[in-house]
């Protein structure tokens, strides 16, 4: 099948798109990939939806902004893909299936016997109608309902991608997005995964809170800052780091309050160190010693994050591009792959990746 995958991250930066030819097991071919920046109108609505989601009490109706935001996400996806397909000499009839992750506005892991909650906004029925193609969506709900974390979901794709590159275990794939998550491939079909801690998300929130932009472009603030190791230790005292994997996070799970006494540059440098130290702690908890770590996601564009990972981890740290991967498109590719697995009823989450009792299928399909 020729599958178009979409991903919009918590940075609210762009719609990422990638085409794969896959049956949900092997990858036959890699089609084009690209992105289109979110419009300010959509970004502003999603920011408001996220703020309302954070205040949404369990057992009460969902915020009324959700349906409107979901429609805007679908329209953004359609507009982005129209231009993307045309630029790559493709049209909608060429596409057999669409995978739409949707925009995460809330992610709460299970806690104290309460099930988790996870919300990804995107009107799949509207997208199916606009494109005339079937759309796989809602990849996390079934996992959460079964007692899983609902995240991360990309590990089964990381395994397929590593195999397609002829790589050998043991290795780790570290995605540094708003939150950082790692996939360990120990051999055969064995994978384990969890969120290690913050990725770019806290740094973005810090920079925005200080009125210094949307993110620390190129690590310019962190590069001239001084790490406060005491604050790093205080942040690492969060109970999340004592919990055994698999486990998952929302980018709002950690407070910026410990950083308030620090000037922006020092605070940014300290958060970079926190990200890297949390990854190191995750490796130590797993007792894993991969031969290398392959870094994907937006965080690999921040040279300070890459330097901190190289300094604090004991194994070689490579970028996705070092192996010929498209680092900015891995998650869009992943949801194309997961869409194909959903279409075929294949498992997308596993006991050692999300904590579900047994390997299980997920996602739903809506047809035009």
Structure confidence by residue, pLDDT tens digits, 213-232: 999 999 999 999 999 999 99
363, 348 contact by CB (below 8 A)? yes
Ordered structural domains, the chain, with CATH: 2-151+334-366 (3.30.420.40), 166-323 (3.30.420.40)
Partnered with residue 29 across adjacent β-strands are: 21
- Confidence band of 112 (pLDDT split at 50, 70, 90): confident
DSSP tally for the chain: helices H, then strands E: 10, 12
73 pLDDT higher than 80: yes
| Percent of the residues in the chain that have a pLDDT greater than 70, as a whole number | 100
288 pLDDT higher than 80: no
pLDDT digits (tens, 9 = 90+) for 150-184: 999 999 999 999 999 999 999 999 999 999 999 99
Per-residue pLDDT, 71: 98
* Strand, helix or coil for residue 358: coil
E strand or H helix at 165: none
N-to-C CA span, the chain: 18
- Confidence band of 356 (pLDDT split at 50, 70, 90): very high
- Confidence band of 287 (pLDDT split at 50, 70, 90): confident
21 pLDDT higher than 80: yes
Per-residue pLDDT, 10: 85
Per-residue pLDDT, 87: 98
Tokens of 335: 């949801």
Query: How many of the other CB atoms lie within 10 Å of CB of 283?
Result: 21
CA distance readout (Å), 319 to 323, 330, 337: 8, 12, 21
State mean pLDDT over 248-266: 94
- Confidence band of 113 (pLDDT split at 50, 70, 90): confident
Q: Where are the alpha helices (DSSP H) in 245-302?
A: 264-286
Listed in order, strand segments (DSSP E) in 109-203 are: 117-121, 135-137, 171-176, 179-187, 190-198
293, 174 contact by CB (below 8 A)? yes
Per-residue pLDDT, 191: 95
Under DSSP, the state recorded for 252 is: T
E strand or H helix at 364: strand 364-366
CA distance readout (Å), 26 to 18, 92, 337, 341: 16, 23, 9, 11
Q: What's the mean per-residue pLDDT of the chain?
A: 96
pLDDT digits (tens, 9 = 90+) for 120-130: 999 999 999 99
- Confidence band of 250 (pLDDT split at 50, 70, 90): confident
Under DSSP, the state recorded for 360 is: B
Per-residue pLDDT, 111: 83
């Amino acid at each position: 099948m020729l599958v178009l995958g979409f991903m919009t991250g918590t940075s609210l930066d762009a719609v990422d798109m990638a085409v794969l030819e896959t049956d949900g097991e092997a990858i036959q071919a890699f089609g084009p990939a690209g992105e289109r920046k979110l419009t300010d109108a959509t970004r502003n609505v999603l920011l408001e939806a996220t703020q309302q989601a954070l205040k949404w009490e369990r057992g009460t109706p969902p915020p009324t902004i959700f349906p409107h935001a979901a429609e805007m996400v679908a329209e953004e996806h359609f507009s982005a893909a129209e231009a993307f397909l045309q630029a790559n000499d493709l049209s909608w009839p060429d596409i057999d299936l669409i995978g739409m992750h949707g925009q995460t506005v809330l992610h709460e892991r299970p806690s104290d016997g309460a099930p988790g909650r996870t919300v990804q906004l995107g009107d799949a029925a509207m997208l199916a109608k606009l494109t005339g193609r079937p759309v796989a969506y809602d990849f996390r709900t079934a996992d959460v309902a079964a007692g899983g974390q609902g995240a991360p979901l990309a590990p089964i794709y990381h395994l397929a991608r590593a195999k397609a590159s002829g790589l050998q275990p043991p290795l780790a794939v570290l995605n540094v997005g708003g939150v950082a998550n790692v996939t360990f491939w120990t051999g055969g079909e064995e994978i384990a995964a969890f969120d290690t801690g913050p990725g770019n998300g806290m740094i973005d929130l810090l920079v925005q809170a200080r009125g210094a932009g949307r993110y620390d472009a190129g690590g310019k603030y962190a590069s001239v800052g001084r790490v406060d190791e005491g604050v790093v230790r205080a942040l690492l005292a969060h109970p999340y780091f004592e919990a055994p994997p698999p486990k998952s996070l929302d980018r709002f799970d950690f407070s910026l309050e410990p950083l308030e006494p620090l000037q922006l540059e020092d605070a940014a440098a300290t958060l970079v160190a926190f990200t890297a130290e949390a990854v190191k702690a995750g490796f130590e908890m797993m007792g894993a010693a991969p031969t290398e770590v392959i870094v994907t996601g937006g965080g690999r564009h921040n040279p300070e994050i890459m330097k901190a990972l190289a300094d604090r981890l004991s194994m070689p740290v490579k970028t996705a591009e070092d192996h010929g991967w498209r680092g900015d498109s891995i998650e869009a590719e992943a949801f194309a792959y997961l869409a194909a697995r959903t279409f075929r009823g294949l498992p997308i989450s596993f006991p050692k990746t999300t904590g579900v009792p047994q390997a299980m299928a997920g996602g739903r399909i809506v047809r035009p």
